Each structure stands twice: as C-alpha cells, then as structure tokens.
C-alpha cells in the first residue's frame, strides 16, 4: 500500500507534492533537501512561522514578496528592523500582515544574530539519525511532532525565538532535510544541498 501519486510526467511523488504546479516544483527541487546556511534557515523558519494557521501554498505563492519585504531574509538586516519597518510590513499586501508574526520574525532575527555558534549549528544539532528502515511507506507514518522537534522548539524559545512550537519545528526539519519524509518510492533523491 502506498500513498504515492504518479504525475503526467510519469514520476511518482508524495501526494501533496503533486496537487498544484507550485507544489510539484517545491516538492521536486527543494523540500527535504539539506539547507545549511544561517540566512536560508532563517528564511525557512520565518516562513514556517507565518504558515501557522494557513495553508503552505499561501506562503509559497507569497514567498517572492516575503523575500523582498524581509531583505532576502538576511539575519543582520532584519535584526535591525524598527517600528517603521513593522509599519512598512503591515502595509505590504504581498505578505501575510499579522503583527504578532512580523514582530516574531524580527525578534527571531535578533535571537539568531545573538547565537554564539550560529543558527545552522543550533538547528542541525537536533537532526535525528536517518530512519533504519528508510523512508516512510505512507503519509500516516509521517509524524507531526517528534522528541527532536520538541527539544528544538524548547531550545529556540530558550534562546528568545517566538512562534516556534514542536509542530513548526518538525515542519522546518522536513523542509530543510534534517529528516527525509519523502515517501518510499518517491522519485526525489535526498541529499542535494539547497541554498
């Protein structure tokens, strides 16, 4: 029994990754690929927090506007944002205009800038070893929260991060290649570094 979907191109994909052209591209080229730079991880962390309560496709389609609005997610730049930047972001119809999430993104940039060993070192320290039995066979075998994601969320909150609970932390782990939750038989290879 498998949950894979075969697309018009004949390639087997995780079912969510075949539902829209945007998802096909994201699934095939980015999701689950290792991300190991601080700014790129800050982007993923920020977008996962903005996604809370919304569908990922909404965030994915607004991603170019988010990148522009948040200076390409350069931690050093976002950490210097002030009340004027909050007002600018709240007026930007291209992004999700949620004050709490905007203020959390800025606070998270400041927290990331203060990490002695950087964001990459902190986040990847919670990556579990690969599953001994390989990729999950079905979507039902993919967890929403793990002990590692719970520990990551706790460490992030202790470091001053906001809007990062265990579920958001696990989604980040999936998106950035810390875990491989592509289903068994999915055509996407794992381990190709992202930006």
Q: Which of 23, 30, 31, 48 is catalytic?
A: 48
DSSP 78-112: HTT--HHHHHHHHT-TTS---HHHHHHHHHHHHHH
Q: Which of 26, 31, 81, 170 is catalytic?
A: 26
- The owner of tokens 């004050």 is 99
Q: Which of 16, 56, 74, 103 is catalytic?
A: 56
Tokens of 41: 């991880």
- What is the rounded distance in angstroms from the CA atom of residue 154 to the CA atom of residue 148? 10
Tokens of 175: 């998106």
Active site residue 48: yes
Tokens of 141: 């075998």
Dihedral sign for Cα atoms in the order 149, 118, 40, 183: negative
Q: Encode burial over 99-124: b for 16+ CB neighbours within 10 A, e otherwise.
A: eebbbbbbbbbebbbebeeebbebbb
Active site residue 56: yes
Active site residue 81: no
User: Which residues are identified as catalytic?
Assistant: 26, 48, 56
């Amino acid at each position: 029994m498998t949950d894979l979907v075969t697309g018009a191109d004949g390639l087997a994909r995780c079912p969510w990754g075949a539902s829209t052209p945007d998802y096909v591209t994201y699934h095939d080229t980015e999701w689950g690929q290792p991300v190991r730079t601080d700014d790129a991880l800050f982007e993923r962390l920020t977008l996962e927090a903005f996604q809370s309560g919304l569908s990922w496709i909404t965030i994915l389609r607004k991603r170019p506007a988010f990148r522009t609005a948040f200076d390409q997610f350069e931690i050093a730049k976002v950490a210097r944002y002030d009340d004027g930047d909050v007002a600018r972001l709240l007026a930007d119809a291209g992004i999700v205009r949620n004050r709490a999430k905007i203020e959390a993104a800025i606070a998270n940039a400041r927290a990331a800038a203060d990490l002695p060993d950087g964001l990459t070192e902190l986040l990847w320290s919670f990556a579990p070893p690969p599953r001994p039995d390989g990729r999950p066979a079905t979507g039902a075998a993919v967890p929403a929260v793990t002990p590692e994601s719970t520990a990551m969320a706790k460490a992030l909150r202790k470091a001053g991060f906001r809007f990062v609970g265990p579920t958001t932390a696990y989604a980040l782990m999936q998106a950035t290649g810390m875990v491989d939750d592509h289903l068994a038989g999915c055509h996407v290879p794992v381990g190709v570094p992202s930006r």
